[in-house]
Structures are given as structure tokens and as C-alpha cells.
Amino acid sequence: MDVKEESIANKSSLTEFLLLEFSEVREQQILHFFVFLVFYLATVTGNLLIISVVAFDHHLHTPMYLFLMNLVIQDLGQVSVISPKSMANSIMNTRHISYSGCVTQVLFFLFFAISDFFLLTVMAYDRYIAICNPLQYEMLMNKQACIQMIASVWISSFFYGVLHTGGTFASPFCSNVVNQFFCEIPQLLKLTCSDLYLIETGVIVLNAVTGIGCFIFIIITYMHIFTAVLRKPSTEGRQKAFSKCLPHLMVVSIFVFTGYFAFLRLPSNSPSHLDLAIAVIYSMVPPLMNPVIYSMRNKDIKNALSKLFGLRHSSVNSSSSHILQR
């Protein structure tokens, strides 16, 4: 056994962690590198396209798309924190990540992931006001209010990230072998040597309660939205509303169910294909799917993409509801 895989007496002697290899076979390591590279490039390309169309199409300079642009920035950050290191390890045939690198990975992955969820909650509120209280929309969702909401999301998410990271690394580690392809909190907590890990367990419970509260808020919000939409006499108006709301609900569902399953289930004591698959799904699939879902279901985004590439596109119906243009 590698000396570095032996039990570590205390936290101060630990200078690096050993991440999980996808395979010990060199050809499969190279295959993993290329699969992750394609996955990463597709994610980056899709999200950069969304940022570009929102930035350059003045029709999309509205609260909804301002929130969407921040969402894809968070997605880019989330996938960029973990994928490049995993790819580098595969191509270089190594497993190492420094202690400081692991701390940084945990901090920023949580920062971007938590901000994603908080922003999805704010986006649900935006859709609720636009559809259920249209007369108050301009007052409640003005530029200053939107900037304050976005700033609150970023600041509170960073606070949660620091809290989680501090709780995770407060305890000394008895081993440096992480049974995951990145520094994942549930896997790190299995390596702790003292009861100090209970601090992070308490933080996870607190975060879970907060997340459940946000999810309940989103569900109740969409119950009101769909009730209001179904009352609309115009079929076109209903279709327009659903095209703007369903993508958001799909993104929320993917993020919540995969993330909660990963963090609240008990990880296995040995490397598990299930643990690996779940980690890939909740950490990498939502950032890839978000631009796909929004592009497929949202006519405004599709028209803006057509403009960006100089393609012909159908013009937006001028008689569309002013509320749903927001």
C-alpha cells in the first residue's frame, strides 16, 4: 500500500488527498479524460451562448433573463471547480489534490451550487409576480430590487460555503483517501477522526432545512402560477406562460432531487459505482442541461440564438401579453 494511503496521525501532517480513479487501466483513464472533456466543453459552450444572447439582445434585458444569466455563470463556476482537476488527474495518471486545493474545491463548489438553488428560488418569485401580480411587477421587480436580490444570493451562498467548509475541515482526518472523483463533503466526513465532524453534520441539517423551505416555496409559487395560467382565456397566452415556467421547474427538479439524494444518503464505506454516478449527475448534469432546457422551451432564447448566428427566425408576435414579455 502507498505510504500516503496509511492512516494519518493528525490533521497537521496531512498535505494532500488521493481522489478516486475512474479506472486503473490506462486506456480507460484516457477515455475518461475525453468523455469529461466533451462533457465540459459542451457545458461551457451552452452556458456561454446563453450569456451571449442575454448580453447582446436588448429584448432580453429584463429581470427574468438577468437572473438566468447569473444562473449560467454559477453553472459555469460549479462545473469548472471539479471537472478540470479530474481530467488533469486522468491524463497525468495521478490521484493527487493538495490539502489547500481540496479546501478550495469544497468552498467554491458549495458556493456555486448553493447560489444556484437560491437563485432558482428568486426566479420562481419573479415568475409569480409577473403572472399573478402583473400590476405590481414594475414596482416589485425594478432594477434596484433585482440587483439587491442577486447580491443577496451571492453573499448568503458564500457565507454558507464558508460555514460548510469550516465545519468539514475542523476535524482531523485519519486517512487521505477520498472515495470520489472530487472533494465531496459526505466522503470527507467519513475520514474524520473526532466528534468534530458533528459540526458539519449540523450545518448540513441546517442547510437541508433551508433548502426544503426554499423548495416548498417554489412548489407553492408554481401552484399559484399554474392556477393563474389555466384561467387565462387565450391559448397562446397559456402556451407562452408554460414555455417560460416549465424549463425553470425542470431545472429545479433535477437539481433538488439529485443533490439531496447525494448529501442525505449514507455513502458506502468503499468505492461505489452508485456514489460515483450520483456525484456525476448532481454536479455535472444540471449545468449541462440548463442551457438545453431553456433553449428548447423558450422562444425568446431561440429567437435570440437565431439572431446571434444570423439565421432566419420567426418574429415575436406583437400582440403577445406585455406581462409575459418580461
Give the model confidence (pLDDT) of 192-239 as tens digits: 887 766 777 777 788 778 888 888 898 899 888 888 888 877 776 677
Q: Which residues pair with 173 in a beta bridge?
A: 192
Which pLDDT band holds residue 64 (cuts at 50, 70, 90)? confident
From CA 292, how far away is CA 137, in angstroms rounded? 28
When mean pLDDT is compared across 221-230, 238-247, 314-323, the lowest value belongs to 314-323
Which pLDDT band holds residue 156 (cuts at 50, 70, 90)? very high
Give the model confidence (pLDDT) of 97-126 as tens digits: 999 999 999 999 999 999 988 998 998 899
- 300, 205 Cβ separation under 8 angstroms: no
Give the model confidence (pLDDT) of 264-285 as tens digits: 665 556 666 777 888 888 888 8
| The predicted structure's pLDDT at residue 23 | 78
Q: Closest Cα to residue 168, out of 214, 206, 204, 218? A: 204
- 71, 120 Cβ separation under 8 angstroms: yes
Q: Closest Cα to residue 8, out of 282, 147, 192? A: 192
Give the model confidence (pLDDT) of 280-291 as tens digits: 888 888 888 878
Which pLDDT band holds residue 6 (cuts at 50, 70, 90)? very low
DSSP for 121-172 reads HHHHHHHHHHHH-GGGHHHHT-HHHHHHHHHHHHHHHHHHHHHHHHHHHSS-
- 304, 53 Cβ separation under 8 angstroms: yes
pTM of the model: 0.82
From CA 15, how far away is CA 99, in angstroms rounded? 5
Kindly state the average pLDDT of the residues 175-188.
89
Q: Which CATH superfamily is domain 18-308 in?
A: Rhodopsin 7-helix transmembrane proteins (1.20.1070.10)
Report in angstroms the alpha-carbon separations of 90 from 8, 18, 87, 103.
Answer: 25, 13, 5, 21
| The predicted structure's pLDDT at residue 236 | 67
| The predicted structure's pLDDT at residue 11 | 46
| The predicted structure's pLDDT at residue 305 | 77
Sorted by where each begins, the domain ranges of the chain are: 18-308
